Amino acid sequence: MFMLVNCSNCRTPLQLPPGGARSIRCAICQAVTQIGDHRNAPPPQHHAPMMQGPPPPPSPYNHAPPNPPPNPHGRKKAVIVGISYRFSRHELKGCLNDAKCMKYLLINKFQFPEASILMLTEEERDPYRIPTKQNMRMALYWLVQGCQPGDSLVFHYSGHGSRQRNYNGDEVDGYDETLCPLDFETQGMIVDDEINASIVRPLPHGVKLHAIIDACHSGTVLDLPFLCRMNRSGQYGWEDHRPRSGVWKGSNGGEVISFSGCDDDQTSADTSALSKITSTGAMTFCFIQAIERGHGTTYGTILTAMRAAIRDAGSSGGSLGDGAVTSLISMLLTGGSVSTGGLRQEPQLTACEPFDVYAKPFSL
C-alpha cells in the first residue's frame, strides 16, 4: 500500500517512496515537506469492522522501478492514456484503439516489458487505472519515479486537448495548453505547467523521455523550450519558446522529445475522419505507420513522413503498409485502407535542446 502526504505549501498529494523518507519535494511548487509533520498527512480513513466483498486491487503506482528488475541497458517504462469520454457530448471514437495500438508497438517493436506499461482507459477494471485527473497525475509521477541513467520512458496520450488564457506571461502565444482527463468537467484540466513540472524538470542526465500526444492544441503541451518549425519541403528551424520570465522549462539534464498531433492553435482530426467503420487517431496512426514503413531512422524522417501522410491523405487516400502493428490497425479498422477526408493538422516536434533532426537517430 502506498502512502500519500499533502504538500505543506500547495496541498498536492505527494507519493512517498516505498522505503519511506524524512522529507519530500513537491514537483509542482518545489516546496519541501517534512514527513514527520503529521499535520500534512491526509485524514485517517475509518472502516467498518467487517469489510464486504473482495479487497480493492493494489495500486499500480506503489513500485519504482517496475518489474522486471533493471538490466545494464536501462529500464523501459511507459504510461499510455486513451480516453473516449463515453456517453458524454465530448465522445471520441478512436482513443481506446490508439492506446491498444501504441501498447502493441512498444511491446513488439521496441521490447518494452508489458509489466512496465501502465494503461489508463475507461475499459480498465482497476479503479486506479481509470483516466481521472488524480490517476493521471499519479501515473505521471510513477513514470519518472526512481528513474536512472539509461532508462527510456514513454508517455502516450490520446484524448481531448484544450487551452486557456495564460496570465503570467510565460507563453509565447499567450495560452497554456491542457489535457482533458475523463473527469475534467468537474475536476478541471491538467495544465502544461504541471505536466512540465511532473515529468520534464525532474529528469536527470542519462534518462530519455518521449511523449506522443494525440490531442488538439498539443504543440507545446509539455512546455519544452524549443519547437521545430518545419515547412512542407522538409526545411526546418528551431523556435525559442523559453518564457520571458527566465524560468527554465527544460529537464535536469535528461533528454525529452515530444511528438504532438498539431500546432497549439490547431485541432486534431476527429478519429472518424480516418475510417467510416472503426477509428484510430490521425496522429497516432501516422506515427505508427511511419515506424512500420521504415521511416523511423531519425526524428526528421518520422516527422516528414507523418506530415506527408496527413497532408496527402485527403487527395490520394492512405493505405496501411505491411507489418504486425499495421496489421493490428487493419484488424481494428476492419479494412485495409484509410480515407482521411482531408485532415488539416500538422504534427509538431518539441525538445529540451535543438538538434539536427535528420542526423539524430530515433530510438525508444
Q: Which active-site residues does the annotation give?
A: 160, 216
- The Cα 121–Cα 136 span in angstroms is 10
- Residue 132: Cβ within 10 Å count: 19
265, with CB counted inside 10 A (0-12, 13-18, 19+), is: exposed
- The Cα 132–Cα 122 span in angstroms is 9
The C-alpha cell that represents 275 in the structure block: 475510417
| Single-letter code of the amino acid located at 5 | V
- Residue 178: Cβ within 10 Å count: 25
The C-alpha cell that represents 272 in the structure block: 472518424
Pairing of strands 208-214, 226-230: unpaired
Q: 282 Cβ partners below 8 Å, 6+ apart?
A: 214, 261, 268, 269, 271, 273, 274, 310, 340, 343, 345
- Residue 345: Cβ within 10 Å count: 22
Query: For residue 7, what is the DSSP state?
Result: -
With beta carbons less than 8 A apart as the criterion, state whether 293 and 324 touch. no
- Residue 17: Cβ within 10 Å count: 13
With beta carbons less than 8 A apart as the criterion, state whether 311 and 232 touch. yes
> Per residue in 99-131, is it b (16+ CB within 10 Å) or e — as a string?
bbbbbbbbbebbebeeebbbbbbbeeeeebbbb
